């Protein structure tokens, strides 16, 4: 057989094989169509909204998922619901892990001392208890701390923080009620420098977007304290209001990371996803109880499992 005939025969066999493959694909595969996923998408929409994921983020995710799946060829034995859920899980995990993973302990150890952290948020989110938990964690990792009681606005705020400081055996710097919170922070930082203390933790007055004076006061404190890290404390039970608070503080002050409190109180925690998607802000710790040790590092895998199995 000549080389030319062999080539012709080979091409013919390839074409025949390709035809056979295409014909058999009708029985082996099917294409995902709109009607295949309509009910599943609605179920996921409800599940995400019920988990406190914001409406805009929910719609964007589901639109992305539909675009990724519609027209996709899958084996007839495969479960469309499982594919849809797995695709969404992967998409959510990518969003949660796109932000830099912040290890606060490593960050402190690599930085010049003292490392200054400012905590802020609205009233009632558990800010004072959160600061105490962070102190406990830092001490467990061999770091020394001093606290600045710069909430000179709310009655009994300094007393509450003093109780925690006494229990945790860390020094605290206080001022007069109605006094200058920035001056208290400055004194705490100077004390840390003179005593060789590793970390200064600054408490501030709770404020809402209507508290223009308190917001300006916080801006002034930031200019004077020049913090290395700014932590916004948010209540996981606040739903979409929590996201609005985060947007307000990002625009008014700016922050580096979030600690989400009261996650143990049956909170779905979907605000984590909204923060990551809309503001590109990481949640670094979760408050899961009142005790000092009840502060756990945030895990994307943990969040995804909680979101889909709660």
Q: What is the pLDDT of residue 195?
A: 97
3-98 — its CATH code?
1.20.120.140
Q: Which CATH architecture has domain 104-299?
A: 3-Layer(aba) Sandwich (3.40)
Q: What is the pLDDT of residue 87?
A: 84
As a whole number of Å, the end-to-end CA separation of the chain is 69
Q: What is the pLDDT of residue 250?
A: 92
Highest-scoring range by mean pLDDT, 12-16, 108-112, 284-288 = 108-112
| Residue 28: pLDDT band with limits 50, 70, 90 | low
Q: Under the phi-then-psi rule, with left for phi > 0, alpha for psi from -120 to 50, and beta for the rest, what region is 254?
A: left
Asked whether the predicted pLDDT for residue 193 surpasses 60, the reply is yes
Burial letters for 11-37: b for 16+ Cβ neighbours within 10 Å, e otherwise? Answer: eeeeeeeeeeeeeeeeeeebebeeebb
60-71: per-residue pLDDT in tens? 888 888 888 888
Q: What is the pLDDT of residue 16?
A: 45
Asked whether the predicted pLDDT for residue 7 surpasses 80, the reply is no
110-134: per-residue pLDDT in tens? 999 999 999 999 888 889 999 999 9
CA 18 to chain centre: 49
Per-residue CA distances from 156 to 141, 153, 260 (Å): 30, 9, 23
- Element at 285 (helix H, strand E): strand 283-287
Asked whether the predicted pLDDT for residue 12 surpasses 50, the reply is no
**If you average pLDDT over residues 125-151, what whole number do you get?**
96
Peptide bond into 241 cis (omega under 30): no
What is the C-alpha separation between 232 and 181, in angstroms, rounded? 18
Q: Find the angle CA(123)-CA(129)-CA(133) to the nearest 5 degrees.
A: 140
Q: What is the pLDDT of residue 228?
A: 97
Q: What is the pLDDT of residue 77?
A: 61
CB burial of residue 66 (10 Å; 0-12, 13-18, 19+): middle
Which carries the bigger pLDDT value, residue 221 or residue 72?
A: 221
Residue extent(s) of CATH 3.40.50.300 domains in the chain: 104-299
What is the C-alpha separation between 100 and 210, in angstroms, rounded? 32
What is the three-class DSSP state of 287? strand
Cβ(231)–Cβ(117) below 8 Å: yes
202-216: per-residue pLDDT in tens? 999 876 655 677 788
């Amino acid at each position: 057989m000549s080389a030319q005939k062999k080539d012709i025969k080979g091409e013919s066999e390839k074409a025949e094989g390709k035809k056979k493959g295409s014909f058999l694909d009708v029985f082996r595969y099917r294409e995902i169509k709109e009607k295949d996923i309509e009910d599943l998408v609605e179920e996921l929409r409800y599940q995400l909204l019920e988990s406190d994921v914001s409406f805009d983020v929910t719609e964007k995710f589901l639109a992305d998922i539909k675009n990724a799946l519609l027209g996709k060829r899958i084996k007839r034995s495969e479960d469309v619901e499982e594919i849809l859920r797995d695709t969404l899980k992967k998409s959510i995990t990518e969003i949660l892990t796109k932000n830099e993973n912040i290890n606060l302990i490593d960050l402190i150890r690599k930085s010049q001392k003292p490392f200054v952290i400012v905590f802020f948020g609205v009233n009632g989110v558990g800010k004072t208890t959160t600061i105490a938990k962070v102190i406990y964690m830092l001490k467990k990792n061999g770091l020394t701390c001093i606290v600045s009681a710069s909430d000179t606005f709310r009655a009994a705020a300094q007393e509450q923080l003093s109780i925690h400081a006494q229990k945790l055996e860390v020094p605290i710097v206080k001022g007069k009620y109605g006094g200058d919170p920035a001056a208290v922070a400055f004194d705490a930082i100077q004390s840390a420098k003179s005593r060789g203390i590793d970390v200064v933790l600054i408490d501030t007055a709770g404020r809402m977007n209507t508290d223009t004076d308190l917001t300006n006061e916080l801006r002034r404190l930031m200019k004077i304290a020049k913090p290395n890290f700014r932590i916004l404390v948010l209540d996981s039970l606040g739903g979409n209001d929590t996201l609005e608070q985060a947007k307000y503080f990002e625009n008014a002050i700016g922050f580096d990371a979030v600690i989400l409190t009261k996650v143990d109180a049956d909170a779905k925690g979907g605000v984590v996803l909204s923060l990551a998607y809309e503001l590109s802000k990481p949640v670094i710790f979760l408050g899961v109880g009142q005790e000092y040790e009840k502060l756990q590092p945030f895990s994307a895998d943990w969040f995804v499992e909680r979101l889909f199995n709660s």
